[in-house]
Structure 1
Amino acid sequence: MARKSLIQREIKRQKLEKKYKFLRDSLKKSIKKAFLLDEKWKIRKNLQSLPRDSVPIRRHRRCIITGRPKANYRDFALSRHFFREMAHGCLLPGVTKASW
């Protein structure tokens, strides 16, 4: 199991990302529309003044059961350990073992 503080940090990042998504997107669009370089710099400065954790790239995919940050399958949101257990228990529809 992952530490509770790390899981809470990811939840906080998700909330911040949702909160600033519209503002971040509008600033990016205005950078593309701006013609003068000075305008682009001002808009870029406003974009950089947003919280760091509101950037979507800082989020980390975690297992929904254990919170493990590494070796996750995107389609199932599970770590490799629980994916294997659930696949062997026939709890994941459409998943078959590749070799016997």
Structure 2
Amino acid sequence: MSGLWTGDELVEAMQARPVGIVPETVTGISIDTRTLQQGEAFFAIKGEQFDGHDYVGAAQKAGASIAVIAEEKLVALGRLHIPLLVVSDVLEAMRKLARA
């Protein structure tokens, strides 16, 4: 499976702070653990009814290679065994990646 981005490209494009070992490649992105594919980055977007941060564990189990989370959630999620990219705003980080 080829990657769309390297982990380092994600860090740079989103101005993220990596926690853990960033994967060499990321195959895509997902905001929904029900459709997430092995190797994709999971973006934990907070919506009006649901908070994607509540599903980072499910994303890990589904095969996410990395999760993009908000700085304010790091303490709660830092014990998971998945590499994290910490940003101030997950939705804005996704926008930055789209512009890169």
Q: Same fold (TM over 0.5)?
A: no
Q: Could you say which structure has the higher helix fraction?
A: 1
- Higher RCO (CA < 8 A, seq sep 6+): 2
TM-score by length of 2: 0.20
Rg larger in structure? 1
